[in-house]
Chain A
């Protein structure tokens, strides 16, 4: 069924086959204007990163897509459906999974309860054994309090619980933040496995080297809007430019 919707959208747009299409998105937290006309496309099956310095609007873009923002204007279309103006709890039900930067593991819930908390929104989600296969560290930890897991395990749990829901677009906000290299490697393996399974992923990343091993395209954000788009295979030629953008 989602495919049928896709086809219709594709026809409307001609060649571009964007699963997620953001146009001139402005976002506000109260009085403060944080997004200034973000435009980007994510095609089905792609892994796209949002790069940029702190405060460039990467996390805000994700929150705006999920509707966690006071006021939004512009357009966010997911499989042809307009998300602006939609009730907040209906957005994830279209098949968008959100893994927040702070991971959001609930301390009053066990690992099992955390894993099964997000309701299944579409058929075709991964089963719990499949999730354990992807993240073996979580196996056998079911009755542990969620926040007693290590940072890396909490990140795996935060990703794992979204995979159960059948969401086909996943917004991953800085999955490697504060993790040891060996754990980052594991997360990378998992994200690549998800891509191979056909998940579409939007990734906010500060760890540029990590992003380069996974992504198809990179959007660069500055001061609340997208300033550049670099396909991963043209990364080498654009290194200097990118260093300037990111200030590294």
Chain B
């Protein structure tokens, strides 16, 4: 095998795969944030906590009810969506008339409460979650070894991301969503119940976070802090992609995951900050983000 710039291909591709996995989670999470921001104008700081809850629901389903991974894949996002709908109905919806900062503060506070509560009951050490039997093992691709579960995570996340993109950009329901993002008052004046759409959008956005939580459970450990660790990078992804841009969130999420992987190979010391360096550069050159529209 040839070395690439002095790096054995196994190492290079291994890190690229790791980057792609991280990128899949960035994409799923920033996609949800982008959908929510577009419609509600709220920066959902509780997103990481809801991702963590998604993973914990999967873990609880397995350990308390004996329901395995595939059940969790369906039920967990549903539970998180219900939590989201309740939050939106009882709290967030009261803040739309105030400055956006209030939504941010509320969701930040909620994140702290959720994380604190889970820490209280489960501690900070992670709980292991087994890989489902169907996805155990891996494939030898010649240039690298691909664990089946990791391949599944990348494929599942790509399908969900592009499915969401298609639903928003190419369907009638998506046209309502785009129109209501632009001018909710007028869409309401056409006879569409916009407050219900807003609630549903928030529910859907956080369900994506819940789904990401289930996908993450077998890879990272299920821990109350798993959201906090990830969410800061995800916010950087959203800023780089452009606030509210669907495609921007997906492409930037995957791209930055890969970039992080590459940095780990060639200059590991910078791998934790490379995303933020990119963010600073993008903000200097294009303040609305790579895919964002200037307002």
Footprint of B on A, CB under 8 Å?
66-68, 87-93, 98, 100, 104, 106-109, 113, 116-119, 121, 165
Please tell me which one of the listed residues B178, B185, B189 contacts residue A106 in the complex, with CB atoms under 8 A apart.
Answer: B178
Output the least CB separation between B239 and chain A (Å).
20
| B281 on interface, CB distance cutoff 8 Å | no
Output the least CB separation between A157 and chain B (Å).
13
**Contact B179 A119, beta carbon cutoff 8 Å:** no
User: B134-161: which residues lie under 8 A (CB-CB) from chain A?
Assistant: none
Interface string of B89-128 (1 = CB under 8 A from A): 0000000000000000000000000000000000000000
Please tell me which one of the listed residues A88, A109, A121, A165 contacts residue B188 in the complex, with CB atoms under 8 A apart.
Answer: A88
**Contact B181 A119, beta carbon cutoff 8 Å:** no
**Contact B182 A119, beta carbon cutoff 8 Å:** no
In the bound complex, what is the Cα–Cα distance between A68 and B181 (angstroms)? 17
**Contact B179 A106, beta carbon cutoff 8 Å:** yes
Interface string of B174-190 (1 = CB under 8 A from A): 01101101110111111
Considering the complex, give the chain B residue whose CB is closest to the CB of A66: B189
Q: 5 A-B pairs, CB-CB below 8 angstroms?
A: A90-B191, A107-B182, A108-B181, A109-B175, A119-B190
* Best-surrounded residue of A93, A118, A121 (most CB of chain B within 10 A): A118
Q: Give me 8 other A-B pairs in contact (C-beta within 8 A), A92-B191, A109-B178 excluded.
A: A67-B189, A89-B188, A90-B191, A98-B186, A100-B186, A108-B178, A113-B175, A165-B191
Considering the complex, give the chain A residue whose CB is closest to the CB of B178: A108
Please tell me which one of the listed residues A67, A92, A113 contacts residue B190 in the complex, with CB atoms under 8 A apart.
Answer: A92
Interface string of B34-61 (1 = CB under 8 A from A): 0000000000000000000000000000
| B192 on interface, CB distance cutoff 8 Å | yes
Interface string of B187-216 (1 = CB under 8 A from A): 111111110000000000000000000000
In the bound complex, what is the Cα–Cα distance between A181 and B129 (angstroms)? 71
Q: Which residues of B lie under 8 Å from residue A68 when comparing CB positions?
A: 185, 188-189
Output the least CB separation between B45 and chain A (Å).
26
In the bound complex, what is the Cα–Cα distance between A245 and B203 (angstroms)? 53
Q: Which residues of B lie under 8 Å from residue A113 when comparing CB positions?
A: 175
Footprint of A on B, CB under 8 Å?
172, 175-176, 178-179, 181-183, 185-194
Residues A106 and B183 in contact in the complex (CB < 8 Å), given A113-B175, A117-B175, A117-B176 = yes
**Contact A93 B182, beta carbon cutoff 8 Å:** no
Considering the complex, give the chain A residue whose CB is closest to the CB of B175: A113
Output the least CB separation between A143 and chain B (Å).
12
In the bound complex, what is the Cα–Cα distance between A107 and B182 (angstroms)? 8
In the bound complex, what is the Cα–Cα distance between A98 and B178 (angstroms)? 19
Residues A108 and B179 in contact in the complex (CB < 8 Å), given A68-B185, A100-B186 = yes
Residues A98 and B189 in contact in the complex (CB < 8 Å), given A108-B178, A109-B178 = yes
Output the least CB separation between A28 and chain B (Å).
15
In the bound complex, what is the Cα–Cα distance between A27 and B192 (angstroms)? 23
Q: Which residues of B lie under 8 Å from residue A67 when comparing CB positions?
A: 189
Q: Which residues of A lie under 8 Å from residue B181 when comparing CB positions?
A: 108
Considering the complex, give the chain B residue whose CB is closest to the CB of A107: B182
In the bound complex, what is the Cα–Cα distance between A173 and B186 (angstroms)? 13
Considering the complex, give the chain B residue whose CB is closest to the CB of A93: B191
Considering the complex, give the chain B residue whose CB is closest to the CB of A97: B190
In the bound complex, what is the Cα–Cα distance between A68 and B183 (angstroms)? 13
In the bound complex, what is the Cα–Cα distance between A165 and B192 (angstroms)? 12
Output the least CB separation between A92 and chain B (Å).
4
* CB-CB nearest 4 A-B residue pairs: A92-B191, A118-B190, A108-B178, A104-B186
Q: Which residues of B lie under 8 Å from residue A98 when comparing CB positions?
A: 186, 189-190
Considering the complex, give the chain A residue whose CB is closest to the CB of B187: A117
Please tell me which one of the listed residues B172, B178, B183, B191 contacts residue A104 in the complex, with CB atoms under 8 A apart.
Answer: B183
